[in-house]
Structure 1
């Protein structure tokens, strides 16, 4: 038994995290937690701009990482007596799974998700940087000295596609490895089980805590055909509730219109300053240093009001002028969802010009922001459910609650297209244009831009 699992059943060293959760420690886990890359996560916010709307949502990526690590131990405990699991998962694999859960966010930098969504040239995604953080720090020495797995095993779980193509290690193609990788990233995984509940707790809303995570873990099983994570039929209701919780958390927290206003301001600010900022050097900063660096770069530029509105002494966020989703406003939504970020900026600039001439008022290019669902889609929510007779079917096929979200793209319902205007500009435009008129102007501008690019 792993030392970390032993701590679950014996009185030992524990770390308390919200909500009254005792996370078991071992000497080797403490050494991991004391490394510089992991300590840095204590100064990086889990939710970034969400705290501008929900003031309690200031928890760190370190707290979340401890929660994911604790879930990984509970998954291993669930399968401890499973002969099929024990036949394919040995001690090094189990240890790499524990480490992967603990270190899965080590590649994060401040506000990295909205910045990743912009797909700026050469920046890449945080997952691609995990290897650098581990291999170029004391983490490698800790793993080599204290653990029975190696860094390649760990990275194979954290970045399975990238590592499988770059490595000749046979361990990356074994059934046990595939199963554990699906527990780390999939429709239901140790990451989502933590962040939904934790984000909900700190935001002060109930939506992400209305599912039974204990029941879900107890119902986890090995898929009879694919060998990946599935759930038994007894976990179906808990899975339905988790899917719905995730839907509501995106709708009411992660994609709340004011959160998205702040996010759109941040993205435009970074876009305008990308040649002033050495973005590569900012990836190793914590929140405070990153924010200070952005504000210095913005001084004297058109981006300065954006940076001050987000991080200055007084919060000044842009106001929502129009909103479009797949039910109301599908024509605009379908034209803008998953457009490249530079395209949305070009649209905003041209829309500013159209508003200026139509309303006989001065609207600067930076006064208009267009926010739309990014290119990257959310992970599939349709986990397979294994019946008593051993047959497996997608959750959406056996659950009417899940079917609509599984078959009618989750992203298109919770991620809306929005036009934001600087507050004074929004008031002026609202007095001169009705919403249908503004919608027609947006469509005209989209058509004009598409003709220009064609």
Structure 2
């Protein structure tokens, strides 16, 4: 195994769809030709899956990075394809050892295809920002809705599918979520770590979106998932990687963190997201946006177009929400005032900062502020496992002749690798341009009161403070 790796992998690409006479061919701008056979087309050619075309993969990021208009539809096709390549790779290299059957391949590919079919609008904003606000700390997740949507699609379209395959697909979709099945999988545990890896975070979902998002935003990407995909190996029912690929694995998590910092949590992207959450909250009473979140038959009709619905409505009840959307269109955004990184030794017991904390930090004689004038965004960027290093959960092997797997620690590889795995950034925004100076000053007072110093890197520019 491994001596003719390139030849074997090349042949595996053709194995992904044994008979293309009955398949649909789609050309993807990341992976090239993707083939869907009739079994998978039963799911793709439904209104529930086609809805993913109306959900931008990066939500509102396209308002800052204009090229980021790709959808969850193409991402789902990409994950489907990579899931097939992953399972075919280990089958081709270790078929006699791990006994991968046709139904195993079908299950993993279907999980990849449908893993986001229950996603809400505007990327993760819907479930992490909007729903907790209007439903008092809601813990609704798109993974749970994906499972419900899969059942709904099967029933509504009378799709014939083996019950064992269906159950396994749903467990694979939930594998990295807080509601992952607690049942111990007795065999082929590694199959559940291909699409959504709750063990260590290496999965084909990340392989696809890291490359796809980087390309769409016009950014370079020096993470090459092919190296990991082509050389991974199943040992003791878990997927392991060559020791010499340690830095490639690290690059996966580092690239993801870079995307979070420079794209997903860009200061202006977050400003727009804060405005959209406020607009949705104002419109919620009239539109009952959250009413469908437990009903797949209604939920599939909810997508990014809800913003356009608010913007074009003539209803007086939606005027405040409509005005906020118009401010976004006219680039009259909430103004970023400043930010600071929470010190490492304060992160574990960090208490969320609220607009009230900023208002209460004002001094006598300052321009009076109200809580409604301020938005606070707490941004957490990590390597997928909070303050823990995900590489400590990954097993490596020396070469293909060795049957020994082992963990590796950063300090044994390089002293240039980060010693801390999480950033926590507090950002404050003024909802009114004329209050930037007052909000910035109150934010500085808060830092002095809390940390005994200004934790922000620099002062808010005077030009921004004078903007009216």
TM-score by length of 1: 0.78
Is the CA contact 2:336–2:427 (under 8 Å) kept in the aligned structure 1?
Answer: yes
Structure 1, unpaired ranges of 5+: 445-454
SS in 2 for 1:80: helix
- Partner of 2:242 in structure 1? 232
- Partner of 1:217 in structure 2? 229
1:378 aligns with 2:387: no
Deviation of the 1:398 alpha carbon: 4.5
1:267 aligns with 2:267: no
Deviation of the 1:236 alpha carbon: 2.3
CA distance in 1, matches of 2:341, 2:234: 38
SS in 2 for 1:136: helix
Shift in alpha-carbon separation, 1:63–1:401, aligned structure 2, 3 A: farther
1:359 aligns with 2:366: yes
Shift in alpha-carbon separation, 1:441–1:304, aligned structure 2, 3 A: farther
1:91 aligns with 2:97: no
- Partner of 1:429 in structure 2? 438
CA distance in 2, matches of 1:376, 1:20: 27
Shift in alpha-carbon separation, 1:401–1:324, aligned structure 2, 3 A: same
Q: How does 1:73-152 map to 2 (within 5 A)?
A: 73-83=84-94, 87-118=98-129, 119=132, 120-121=135-136, 122=138, 124-138=140-154, 143-144=159-160, 150-152=165-167
Structure 2, unpaired ranges of 5+: 1-10, 294-298, 453-468
- Partner of 2:455 in structure 1? none
Alignment partner of 2:173 out of 149, 154, 158: 158
1:7 aligns with 2:17: yes
Deviations along 1:192-225, whole A, 9 cap, x unmatched? 000000001111111xx2112111111212243x
CA distance in 2, matches of 1:408, 1:101: 32
CA distance in 1, matches of 2:222, 2:233: 22
1:309 aligns with 2:327: yes
Deviation of the 1:48 alpha carbon: 0.6
Shift in alpha-carbon separation, 1:228–1:357, aligned structure 2, 3 A: farther
SS in 1 for 2:241: strand
CA distance in 1, matches of 2:18, 2:214: 25
SS in 1 for 2:17: helix
SS in 1 for 2:202: coil
Shift in alpha-carbon separation, 1:391–1:331, aligned structure 2, 3 A: closer
CA distance in 2, matches of 1:395, 1:4: 37
CA distance in 1, matches of 2:84, 2:412: 29
Greater share of residues in helix: 1
Deviations along 1:381-406, whole A, 9 cap, x unmatched? 323322234131146465437852xx
CA distance in 2, matches of 1:332, 1:320: 24
- Partner of 2:218 in structure 1? 204
1:19 aligns with 2:30: yes
CA distance in 1, matches of 2:232, 2:207: 13
- Partner of 1:451 in structure 2? none
- Partner of 1:42 in structure 2? 53
- Partner of 1:51 in structure 2? 62
1:174 aligns with 2:177: no
TM-score by length of 2: 0.76
CA distance in 1, matches of 2:180, 2:266: 36
CA distance in 1, matches of 2:65, 2:156: 37
Aligned length: 415
- Partner of 2:78 in structure 1? 67
Is the CA contact 2:60–2:272 (under 8 Å) kept in the aligned structure 1?
Answer: yes
CA distance in 2, matches of 1:434, 1:47: 32
CA distance in 2, matches of 1:441, 1:273: 37
CA distance in 2, matches of 1:15, 1:149: 29
- Partner of 2:466 in structure 1? none
